[in-house]
A and B are shown apart, each in its own frame.
Chain A
Amino acid sequence: GDSVTQTEGQVALSEEDFLTIHCNYSASGYPALFWYVQYPGEGPQFLFRASRDKEKGSSRGFEATYNKEATSFHLQKASVQESDSAVYYCALRSNYGNEKITFGAGTKLTIKP
């Protein structure tokens, strides 16, 4: 079945550091790829998506590029802020119709002021 692997379970950075959270997927064809962010006590919020090879998704300074050859969708941000501290989920949905979104295990990002 479809799956999403996030390499880092936790990431700790200082403000203005560069962020990369790695995401690799396993699915047939061209799944839609997503990033969601979850703040404490809340449900996940949609950040952005990409649906085609080499498409870049972005929002709030975060970005990721769909790489079908590498089956990756790594999240990056050039300069993180303390308010970016949250759990980030990479996710996918197969494009065969009526498919649910499958989430990765999540990466907890902590930004030190």
Chain B
Amino acid sequence: GPKVLQIPSHQIIDMGQMVTLNCDPVSNHLYFYWYKQILGQQMEFLVNFYNGKVMEKSKLFKDQFSVERPDGSYFTLKIQPTALEDSAVYFCASSLGWDSDYTFGSGTRLLVI
């Protein structure tokens, strides 16, 4: 079936540096999401994005986080500056409609050292 691609699959970065996680959603999907999963823990909602705007964000979506999808290209999550507690797997998802099921990518494993 259709897939969501996430690039890179792994990223190691020094604390305080900037990182951008890239997501190539399913081509005709209109809604985009980021979730965060710390190893062995629950998958937690960060943000959803539609029509060029953030629709909802959670308390985990700190001021250092931002999302965008310039000109229909990658849907990106930027963290600037990174902190040790940002180490996690970040999953991107997309859906056709607000009430559709999600298609997830395989995740980006981020390690902040």
A residues at B contact (CB < 8 Å): 32, 34, 41-46, 49, 89, 93, 95, 97-106
Contacts and interface: CB of A to CB of B under 8 A. Distances in A.
A43 B56 CA distance: 22
A100 B99 contact: no
Contacts of B101: 34, 46, 49
Contact of B106 (A34, A41, A46, A99): A41
Nearest to A45: B104
Interface of B: 4, 33, 35, 41-45, 48, 50, 55-56, 91, 93, 98-99, 101-107
For chain B, what secondary structure do more than half of its interface residues adopt (helix, strand, loop), or is it mixed?
Answer: strand
A105 B42 contact: yes
Contacts of B104: 43-45
Contacts of B48: 98, 100
Contacts of B106: 41-43
